[in-house]
Structure 1
């Protein structure tokens, strides 16, 4: 029973945190909350990444810090969900096949470039930080798992990379 409850909590808690974060963000921006929520939703769908959503939000008049932290928050919640529910996520349509594709590329690369293993934390930070297609919390979680990082270290690397990258985009 305890294991079942723990699994259920790990499945539901990231969504609850995400919803609370969205509501909090919406209350901070006030009357423009629908535009804000639209931007946060747009971030989930390629090709719109942090390099597009943050400048769009700033152009719409949102404070750069709010945009940076909100987009980083989405990456962090996605990472939390995947790190806690990796095997379950592989069964989700669209996400599962994508995860398997990244896994197969990662397995090939990790055996080819084994010298990178000691640099894996900073590698995940830089991977998530640099804004290019597919460099967020989703792929960062998969790569962290593939290169043998613990879930906690992967989560910390994604959090560090996402916040740093989003702040750099917002202010530079």
Structure 2
């Protein structure tokens, strides 16, 4: 092979690599764009505007599907559209991170956030080791549970730490996003139906739910505090 042929081959390799990087970067935006174009066609414009506003808020922590879905339904957006939209946001986030992890890690603000999420994922699985043993099922449950960092992006990072392939990560996150989003949406619709027929019962159920959530939150914070103390002692010992 001559020097000219080697140089030409190297040039085409660089162009091909650059094209692949560009494709990986824009693919999740194409998928999201196609989905929201369909919602634009089927929704009244006012509802579409509200939906897009909620999806923007969904990107800002600590907002998540557990708050966005009830708000969307309260704004009059069909429950299945809101649930599908939050699910697609998780899936597109997973696609972006699965294909662009190394690139995202180099972005100053995003890279620092990714490291924080990975640390949170390590702590989560440290306190729930039985989930890590379940592999793909554990990742699905991780995405289903509505807490900060458990969506598509956080789930992808956790799946990476678990050593799962990109395909298994995307499949697990898609299933977890579907279960999580539609469970919340159906729960909200069911609660609204109860409220229409029996407001007192709805108030009792809501109070009980808030009490359970508050108790679980306090237990979780207590457990995380103990875990952090245990990790500090372990580091001092080492």
- Contact kept, 8 Å, 2:118 with 2:158, in 1: the verdict is yes
> Which structure would you say has the larger RCO, counting Cα contacts within 8 Å and 6 or more residues apart?
1
Gaps of 5+ in 2: 1-14, 188-238
2:139 paired with 1:139: no
Tell me, in whole angstroms, the C-alpha distance in 1 between the residues paired with 2:36 and 2:91.
13
Equivalent position to 1:35, from 50, 57, 61: 50
- Contact kept, 8 Å, 2:121 with 2:158, in 1: the verdict is yes
Equivalent position to 2:106, from 91, 108, 118: 91
Gaps of 5+ in 1: none
Deviation of the 1:102 alpha carbon: 2.9
Equivalent position to 1:46, from 46, 50, 61: 61
More helix by percentage = 2
**Normalization by structure 1: what TM-score?**
0.90
Q: Deviations over 1:37-85 (max 9, x none)?
A: 1011111011210001001000011111111011000000000000000
Tell me, in whole angstroms, the C-alpha distance in 1 between the residues paired with 2:109 and 2:50.
26
**Normalization by structure 2: what TM-score?**
0.67
Q: Deviations over 1:81-121 (max 9, x none)?
A: 00000010112243210111233455577689776544121
Tell me, in whole angstroms, the C-alpha distance in 1 between the residues paired with 2:182 and 2:129.
31
Q: Which residue of 2 aligns with 1:101?
A: 116
Tell me, in whole angstroms, the C-alpha distance in 1 between the residues paired with 2:139 and 2:98.
14
Instruction: Specify the structure having the higher radius of gyration (Cα).
Output: 2
Equivalent position to 1:153, from 165, 168, 172: 168
2:25 paired with 1:8: no
- Contact kept, 8 Å, 1:89 with 1:96, in 2: the verdict is yes
